[in-house]
Chains A and B, each alone.
Chain A
Amino acid sequence: MSEAALHFENVTKRFGETIAVRDLSFSIASGSLVGLLGRNGAGKTTTINMATGLLRPTAGTIHLLGLDVEKHPIEIRRRFGVMPQEDSLLEYLTGAQFLQFVGRVHGLSNEVIAGRTREIFDTLELAPQPGTLVRDYSYGMKKKLALGAALIHGPGLVFLDEPFEGIDPMTSRTIREILSGLQRKGVTIVMSSHVLEIVERLCDTIAIIDQGALLAFGTLDDLRERHGNFDRLEELFVELMGGAKAGELSWL
């Protein structure tokens, strides 16, 4: 098996007649910060869900940190952290209780969890009223809490699905700094996002998916070499997507 942190080999995912991901093959080296780009419904979240074992590939194999995702579902979950795109928290707990539960499942002591919880709350400026259930958090607060839960156990691989969506500019900056810090420590990060400026500034590897197929993969320099020179990532993205459509509605 390769030394890759994440390795997809001919992975396809069908939902009935719909092919969400088709014949996807790539490897992500340890310590990379990968930006996963694509239109809505392109297959980014499906790719992340398969990588984390939430969805079973219709064909192909996925290895994560050297382990087959389907054969070692529990073992791989100890090693990664995930910030899902959708609201997926245990809404009947308070934020601190949620982090305590996640930390305990990962085998952390209550003292360690309490310390890290305080740090997460301070750093991400997460200050709910005491006793507020996660259910009553705002969208942005839920995203911050999900990020905290993804990182509380110090994973070697982190998946972030749209981490900057619904986040205020100050927290966005903090998250960018956290991600840069993680990368410096050798943590592999796979992040999907529609904010191309951030991806361009932060990621060392770019993957562009459309209709479930991988259109481009590599460093920015690799992409310039293969797809011609471009000033901004957005130019390449729009070109690979076949150009932008005129934004007009007939009745307006």
Chain B
Amino acid sequence: MALSAPAALVRAHYRSTWNQIVRGAGFGGKAATGAMLVLAALLVLLPGALAVRLGLTMGTELATTADADVLQNWNGLMATFIFGFALLGSFRFKPAFPFNRFGHYPLTPLQLLIADLPASLFEAFPLLGVSATILMNIGLAVRMPEMTPLIFLLVIDGVVTLLSIMFLGSAVLAAISRRPILMVVFAIITAGACFTFGLSGLRIVLGHWLPGLVRITPIAYGYAGLLAFRSGDIGKGLIGIAIATSAGVLLFLLAAPVHARRLMAERNSDGWAAGRDAPLRLGTPSSSIGNLFLRQLLRSTAVRAQLFLPLLYTAPLALVTALTRRTLAEGKPLPDNLLGLIHRADAAWFAFLPILAVAMNPQIWMNQFGWDRRGMRTLLLLPIDPRDLLAGKLRGLLGFTAVQTVIGVLPLLTVRMPSLQEGIIALTAGGVALIVTTSVGHVVSVRFPRGIDGSAGVQIPLYLAWISPVMLVVTAMGLLGLYAIGNVIAEGGGLVALVVALAGAILAYRLILPRLAALLYANRERLLAM
């Protein structure tokens, strides 16, 4: 049976993804992918059941009383799922296909766009937003079965809105990530506004602006129209539904060309910053490889945006602390448990930051040769000892994590300076985490190499997704345990234990490096096949 062009593209996309899994990891990969899908389904099941239950409860109230507060809460939830998850999705979203490679086939941009839609939804955040929206509306439809066609229409409208916002948001972020200075400016303006307006400003935003905004979203008009329809006010109902759907269509008409342009963008230079002909600084073989690795990471705009990821955590932390201090200074009380939590976070954040930075880069440390792609052939043909290749990757990761940590620590420094002890803990714990994850990353990278195009996404395949959280939990728990045991043995013993741990990690890395290098050489044919 002949397939439509978008269906054929989607089928080819998922078929080739599956073939890559089989080629990359064989039966183990299929099994691990299956296990991860089951785990993901289980993780969705509980919140999914809650969403249906919530939909049933609120649907009952809306069906019986059409209460304005309940409607406002419902619209708030819908707005959170649709707008909130769309914005979160913008940070990670990449077009699923490198569509420009299909340019010589008789495919229209619209066909390519339609083909990309289902693939776009298979990202964590949009999938969560869409599934929550659908499940809550299922609950609503159970309570208002006669309104099911209209509810279905509003769900479709919500999904289209979510995708449109994600397309626009990711396009804006991609543009900003090409100019890091814009990100810094944005962060400074946000932080400045928060510090200036303080807690009262936050209260105004959360207490007045957001509810006001929710009230005027097209989605709110849509559900108000739904209830009007139900109560027999056809005119008001039609207007509400028309506002919602036409806003969704307009937004899609605005986002679709932007997204299509990204899909059809020229491969050359997309995703890569322009170069300069300045001579490289090359020293020892491993430092040369390290410099090259750092250079290629920083030239990839997809990775460059990642430098600023710690700010997503440290800026709110600094903000909350600053607001807390201001509140206390104003003589206003705060709950003891909140204060305790803030104090504990305050005590730990400097020490935790380097580990956090390492935790944010699994797609890099688990695919250290991915950016070399076909250049791997050159690296293997040159007289470079595989030990230097691996040690160079460690150096490059060290440089990248250091830059990330420095950027991440800036908001925290506006609150207070770290003590010497905190500095030592941060450096030692971060060092151990980096060495452990990079070593494991060496193995994963040579066993399951995946070539990365500068313009493509850098996601970890499902069958490897479990490695990063397991590694980080084990490493963090180990470090915490060592620190605690050291402190039990003697005062300041925790600090000594971490220093010893770092020395041990460096020594162990040197000892296992020849074996890791032998593994790389034994797997060179896999690396060539990227």
Contacts and interface: CB of A to CB of B under 8 A. Distances in A.
Nearest to A91: B375
Contacts of A135: 268-269, 272, 454
A77 B382 contact: yes
A92 interface: yes
A88 B282 contact: no
A91 B373 contact: yes
A93 B293 CA distance: 11
Interface string A99-136: 01110111000100000000000000000001111011
A71 to B, nearest CB: 12
A52 B375 CA distance: 16
B277 A94 contact: yes
Contacts of A93: 275, 280, 292, 295
Interface stretch (A31-39, A78-86, A208-216, A244-252): A78-86
B378 interface: yes
B384 interface: yes
B266 to A, nearest CB: 10
A100 B282 contact: yes
B92 interface: no
Contacts of B269: 133, 135-136
A89 to B, nearest CB: 6
Contacts of B376: 88
B282 A101 contact: yes
Interface string B340-353: 00000000000000
Interface residues of B, number: 37
A94 B275 contact: yes
Contacts of A86: 374, 377
A88 B276 contact: no
A74 B285 CA distance: 13
Nearest to A96: B277
A122 to B, nearest CB: 16
Contact of B380 (A54, A78, A101, A110): A54
Contact of A97 (B268, B279, B381): B279
A82 B380 CA distance: 11
Nearest to A56: B525
A73 interface: yes
B51 to A, nearest CB: 44
A87 interface: yes
Contacts of B296: 90, 92
Given A105-B384, A131-B275, A133-B272, A54 B524 contact: yes
B377 A84 contact: yes
B521 interface: yes
Interface in A46-83: 49, 52-56, 73-75, 77-78, 82
Interface in B282-299: 282, 285, 288, 292, 295-296, 299
B275 A89 contact: no
Contact of A84 (B277, B282, B381): B381
Contacts of B382: 77, 102, 105-106
Interface in B364-397: 371-385
A130 B280 CA distance: 15
B381 A92 contact: no
Nearest to A87: B374
Contacts of B525: 54-56
Indicate the member of B272, B276, B382, B521 with the most A CB atoms within 10 Å.
B382
Contacts of A49: 528
Nearest to B378: A88
Given A78-B383, A82-B381, A133-B272, A90 B292 contact: yes
Indicate the member of A74, A77, A105 with the most B CB atoms within 10 Å.
A105
Nearest to B295: A92
A21 interface: no
B274 interface: yes
A207 interface: no
B408 to A, nearest CB: 25
A5 interface: no
A104 B378 contact: no
A74 B383 contact: yes
Nearest to A128: B277
Contacts of A203: none
A133 B282 contact: no
Nearest to A75: B383
B383 A77 contact: yes
Contacts of B274: 131, 133
A86 B306 CA distance: 31
B433 to A, nearest CB: 27
B279 A105 contact: no
Contacts of A182: none
A132 B269 CA distance: 9
Contacts of A54: 377, 380-381, 524-525, 528
Contacts of A92: 272, 275, 292, 295-296, 299-300, 371, 454
A73 B376 CA distance: 16
B275 A132 contact: yes
A93 B372 CA distance: 11
A224 to B, nearest CB: 36
A133 B371 CA distance: 14
Given A105-B288, A135-B268, A100 B380 contact: no
Contacts of B295: 92-93
Interface in B466-507: none
Interface in B241-292: 268-269, 272, 274-277, 279-280, 282, 285, 288, 292
Indicate the member of B292, B374, B377, B385 with the most A CB atoms within 10 Å.
B377
A149 interface: yes
B299 to A, nearest CB: 5
Given A101-B282, A101-B288, A136-B269, A88 B375 contact: yes
B284 to A, nearest CB: 10
A20 to B, nearest CB: 12
Contact of A101 (B277, B280, B377, B454): B280
Given A88-B374, A88-B375, A90-B375, A131 B384 contact: no
Contacts of B282: 100-101, 104
B381 A105 contact: no
B24 to A, nearest CB: 15
Contacts of A133: 269, 272, 274-275, 299
| 8 closest A-B pairs by CB | A88-B377, A77-B383, A90-B375, A92-B296, A78-B383, A133-B275, A104-B282, A105-B382
Given A88-B375, A101-B288, A136-B268, 14 more contacts: A54-B377, A75-B383, A77-B381, A88-B374, A89-B378, A90-B296, A91-B373, A92-B272, A92-B295, A92-B300, A94-B275, A104-B288, A105-B384, A131-B275
Interface of A: 49, 52-56, 73-75, 77-78, 82, 84, 86-94, 96-97, 100-102, 104-106, 110, 130-133, 135-136, 149
10 contacts: A54-B377, A77-B381, A84-B378, A89-B374, A90-B292, A90-B372, A97-B280, A100-B282, A131-B277, A136-B269
Interface of B: 268-269, 272, 274-277, 279-280, 282, 285, 288, 292, 295-296, 299-300, 371-385, 454, 521, 524-525, 528
